[in-house]
Amino acid sequence: MTNIRRISYITYQSFPSEKANTIQTISNIKYFVKAGIEVALYFPLREKESNSDLTHIQNVYSINEEFKIYGLKHNLPFGKINFFNPLFFLISHFLWSRSTVKKILSNPTLPDLFFTRSDWIFYFLSRRKMNVIFECHQYSKLRLFLLRKSLKNKKSKIIFLNENLYEDFKHKSLLSNNFSIIHNGVDLEIFNPKSNKNTKEIIFVGNLKRFGESRDLDFIIDSILRIKNGYKLKVVGATLTEITELNQKYSDTYFDTHVNILGRLSRPETIEHINNAEIGLLINSDANAHSRKYTSPIKYFEYLGANLNVLAVDFDAHRKLPFMENILFFKQNDFLSFTTSLNEATNSDNRNILDKEAISLENRITKILELAVF
């Protein structure tokens, strides 16, 4: 039984957004609330679309749970610039985190636990000897430095999303009781197995680029057009420009009838498309270490929750996912490998033997609360 009754979730993300990282945050909050915990979300109003109205957030993310939201002032004009300079982001993240921690800790009533995805928030809270958990999604040398400094506080703990992150951050400051490897999870209330799947329908959900690099969707489309055999590809998350470019590039009749490039849909629409598909696709660029080693895609867990067979490019990060033995892997840009794995995915019963509760968000939150013993 946890002694955590109130959590302050502080993040440098912007809400609302269609980005997977914000869906992950809101989903975590939903299940913290369902566990009987009072949650307060703090984030910067750093985009023109930023909105801290609870009803609006509930509508965008299709949740009913109640929690407090505090959109905090951000002095730098993010919504007024087109180019997002990494150095500018780093400095503004640092400044916002420092001022935000100072402001929140001036409150005479503090939560039982602080939870964050921000390394700077983690650092400043750790310096003040707070009970804080940092959820680590990416690796950098600066983050390694901050984590080592932060763990000098015996009340600071870390969640790594996969084993590769843990291995690269491994340090003598990591003890058996101050970290845990906890993968993402799926909301089983909204992702449900359907018996009447759209036969041979493959779905990919997400941006077509990752960190500015192509996810090689063109290879998938070219392969589908070459194989034919009744396969249909549905892509959810393309920009209007990308939709136009792809429709102009492919004039094949099979493309017109079997490839459907959709834009960025509402959360309920996206969920419906995933639940109806038969095969879920994981693709990424090998141009950056995050995609190759560290990613723990939310879509993967959603695919499993909806009883999809999963077809994935053979990156180490994908091989570190739970139940990876049920994934059908293919070599990047290798037509024969893709064809072989696609045929196996079409005829596989792997999706029917999974322990869904093991990848549920409810189970994930239970593990987080088990770590949150100070």
Could you give the 3-state DSSP secondary structure of residue 76?
Answer: coil
What mean pLDDT is predicted for residues 17-32?
A: 96
Which one, of 260, 269, 267, lies nearest residue 59 by Cα? 267
Of 56-60, 154-158, 209-213, the poorest mean pLDDT is in 209-213
Residue 209 has phi, psi (to 5 degrees) of -125, 150
pLDDT band per the 50, 70, 90 thresholds, residue 1: low
Q: Which residues contact 120 (CB under 8 A, 6 or more apart)?
A: 12, 93, 94, 97, 98, 146
The mean pLDDT value for 242-257 works out to 89
- Mean pLDDT in residue range 193-202: 84
In terms of C-beta density within 10 A (0-12 exposed, 13-18 middle, 19 or more buried), how is residue 289 classed? middle
pLDDT of residue 165: 94
Residue 89: pLDDT band (50, 70, 90) is: confident
Over the stretch 310-323, which tens digit does the pLDDT of each residue have?
999 999 999 999 99
Secondary structure (3-state) at 43: strand
Average pLDDT score over residue span 276-292 = 90
Q: How confident is the model at residue 82 (pLDDT cuts 50, 70, 90)?
A: very low
Q: What is the pLDDT of residues 171-190, one digit of tens each?
A: 777 877 899 999 999 999 99
- Please report the pLDDT score of residue 76 as a whole number: 65
Give the model confidence (pLDDT) of 332-373 as tens digits. Answer: 999 999 999 999 999 876 555 578 899 999 999 999 999 998
Phi-psi domain of 51 (left: phi exceeds 0; alpha: psi -120 through 50; beta: other)? beta
Task: Look at the alpha carbons of 282, 288, 290, 293 in this order and tell me if their dihedral is positive or negative.
Answer: positive
Average pLDDT of the segment spanning 195-210: 89
Q: 348: which 2 tokens?
A: 């596989």
- Nearest Cα residue to 207 out of 49, 9, 20: 20
The pair of structure tokens assigned to 300 is 């993967």
Q: What is the maximal distance between C-alpha atoms in the chain?
A: 66
Predicted confidence (pLDDT) at residue 251 exceeds the cutoff of 90: no
Domains and their CATH numbers in the chain: 6-181 (3.40.50.2000), 201-356 (3.40.50.2000)
DSSP state of 360: B
The pLDDT score that the predictor gives to residue 347 is 83
More confident of the two residues 180 and 88: 180
What is the residue-averaged pLDDT of the chain? 91
Rounded CA separation 33/115 (Å):
14
pLDDT for 87 beyond 50: yes
pTM above 0.75, yes or no: yes
Q: In this predicted structure, what is the pLDDT of residue 83?
A: 43
Kindly report, residue by residue over 118-160, the tens digit of the pLDDT.
Answer: 999 999 999 999 999 999 999 999 999 999 999 999 999 999 9
> Residue 192 CB: number of other CB atoms within 10 A?
12
pLDDT of residue 197: 84
DSSP letter assigned to residue 292: I
